[in-house]
């Protein structure tokens, strides 16, 4: 029987996989991964078949004991104590973890949060950082506290947000950034020897959960801000504008300038691209999609769907992303 400290991993999203793989492979000299806690299998797709999330699927593939409670509760805490778990790591698990569960492992639970705390606490740190035009974000290893993302921080790994990065790209970078973080901290973490620093609560910002309605374009924003939001909301909820009775989805966009001025939403050019005036700058739309159709280059889209030069596309003012 192994004498190494026992750890568990809580997670449900693909962003968790680099860190989980590290614990299974390189981390095996420092700890024994004795279990994974994940979300239950859910019915998905047109056939509504039960499917495992990426973390649960990986645990099954590797033969790691898997717990999938509908809600983490006292039974799970009892299991952690019974197994003799020293430490739990959490990332993108999707449940509030009650005090009894946080205190079940000898050294508690540590969370990987996808921002440079205290900035972007909350539900959508990756997407909101992109939408707000940040050029840098990261992942922090922190204690889990009762208040959301307010626990003390042991270490952070920084990453760059490139000008073309979507949420898919940045989430992949955040997931990968967990590996160097674990390389620096795992040995001390499983001994309970990490040094933690209190966050500066005065500098904290909070981001809310993203909804479908956040995909509506608001041309009263700057073109740069609209383009950043579109990248942040790729692949979901994407971007769209209403055109008559149709909801037109927007694909890849860039920002340009134009000698021609127009009120926000006015169509300045229809051709290879669709150029639309914003409060500052011009949004150059390269791809469009109508309901039931495919995402097409604008030149192909307008052959079968008319958008008139000079018409004004509607703007929808969304709720602030920071609360």
Q: What is the pLDDT of residues 259-282, one digit of tens each?
A: 677 899 999 999 999 999 999 999
Write the pLDDT tens digit of every residue in 82-132.
Answer: 999 999 999 999 999 999 999 999 999 999 999 999 999 999 999 999 999
Overall number of domains in the chain: 2
Average pLDDT of every residue of the chain: 96
User: Do 214 and 149 touch, CB atoms closer than 8 A?
Assistant: no
Query: Can you tell me whether residue 266 is helix, strand or coil?
Result: strand
89 DSSP β-pair partners: 9, 110
* Dihedral of alpha carbons 174, 179, 180, 186, sign: positive
309: in domain: no
Is position 122 within any domain?
A: yes
2 pLDDT more than 90: no
Residue 73 pLDDT grade (very low, low, confident, very high; cuts 50, 70, 90): confident
Structure letter (DSSP) for residue 103: T
Asked whether residue 58 falls in the same domain as residue 135, the answer is yes
Mean pLDDT (whole number) for 55-61: 98
Distance of CA 231 to the CA centre of its chain: 12
Q: By residue range, what is the domain housing residue 179?
A: 6-206
Structure tokens belonging to residue 173: 């970078």
Identify the band that residue 21 occupies on the pLDDT scale cut at 50, 70 and 90.
very high
- pTM score, two decimals? 0.95
Q: Is the pLDDT of residue 151 over 70?
A: yes
| Domain membership flag for residue 311 | no
**Same domain membership, residue 239 and residue 191:** no
What pLDDT was estimated at residue 1?
56
Q: What is the pLDDT of residues 167-221, one digit of tens each?
A: 999 999 999 999 999 999 999 999 999 999 999 999 999 999 999 999 999 999 9
Record the tokens describing residue 82, joined without a space.
Answer: 């019974």
What CATH code is carried by the domain that includes residue 270? 3.10.25.10
| Residue 292: inside a domain | yes
Note the pLDDT of residue 46.
77
Length of the chain: 323
**Start-to-end C-alpha separation, the chain:** 49
pLDDT recorded at residue 267: 97
In this structure, the answer to whether residues 130 and 253 fall within a common structural domain is: no
Judge if 118 and 192 occupy the same domain. Answer: yes
- Measured distance CA(214)–CA(226) in Å, rounded: 11
* Helices 17-24 + 167-191 axis angle, to 10: 30
The pLDDT of residue 258 is: 72
Radius of gyration of the chain (CA): 23
Residue 24 has pLDDT above 60, yes or no: yes
**What's the pLDDT score for residue 261?**
75
- Write the CB contacts of 183 (distance below 8 Å, at least 6 apart in sequence): 22, 26
Domain assignment present for residue 310? The answer is no
Domain shared by 99 and 247, yes or no: no
């Amino acid at each position: 029987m192994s004498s190494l400290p026992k750890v568990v991993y809580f997670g449900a999203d693909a962003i968790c996989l680099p860190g989980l793989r590290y614990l299974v492979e390189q981390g095996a000299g420092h700890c024994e991964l004795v279990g994974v806690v994940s979300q239950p299998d859910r019915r998905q797709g047109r056939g509504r078949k039960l499917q495992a999330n990426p973390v649960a699927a990986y645990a099954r593939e590797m033969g790691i004991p898997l717990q999938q409670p509908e809600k983490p509760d006292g039974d799970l805490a009892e299991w952690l104590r019974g197994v003799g778990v020293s430490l739990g790591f959490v990332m993108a698990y999707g449940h509030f973890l009650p005090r009894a569960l946080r205190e079940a492992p000898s050294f508690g639970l540590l969370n990987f949060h996808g921002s440079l705390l205290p900035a972007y606490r909350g539900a959508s740190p990756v997407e909101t950082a992109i939408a707000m035009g940040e050029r840098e974000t990261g992942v922090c290893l922190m204690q889990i506290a009762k208040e959301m993302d307010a626990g003390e921080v042991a270490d952070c790994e920084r990453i760059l947000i490139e000008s073309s990065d979507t949420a898919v790209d940045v989430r992949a970078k955040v997931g990968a950034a967990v590996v160097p973080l674990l390389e620096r901290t795992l040995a001390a973490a499983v001994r309970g020897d990490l040094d933690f620093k209190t966050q500066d609560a005065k500098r904290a910002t909070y981001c809310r959960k993203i909804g479908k309605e956040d995909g509506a374009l608001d041309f009263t924003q700057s073109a740069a801000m609209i383009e950043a939001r579109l990248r942040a909301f790729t692949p979901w909820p994407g971007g769209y504008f209403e055109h008559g009775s149709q909801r037109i989805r927007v694909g890849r966009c860039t920002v340009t300038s134009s000698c021609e001025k127009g009120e926000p939403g006015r169509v300045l050019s229809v051709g290879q691209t669709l150029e639309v005036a914003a409060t500052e700058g011009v949004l150059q739309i390269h791809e469009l999609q109508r309901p039931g159709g495919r995402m097409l280059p604008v030149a192909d889209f307008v052959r079968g769907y008319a958008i008139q030069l000079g018409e004004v596309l509607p703007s929808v003012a969304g709720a602030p992303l920071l609360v």
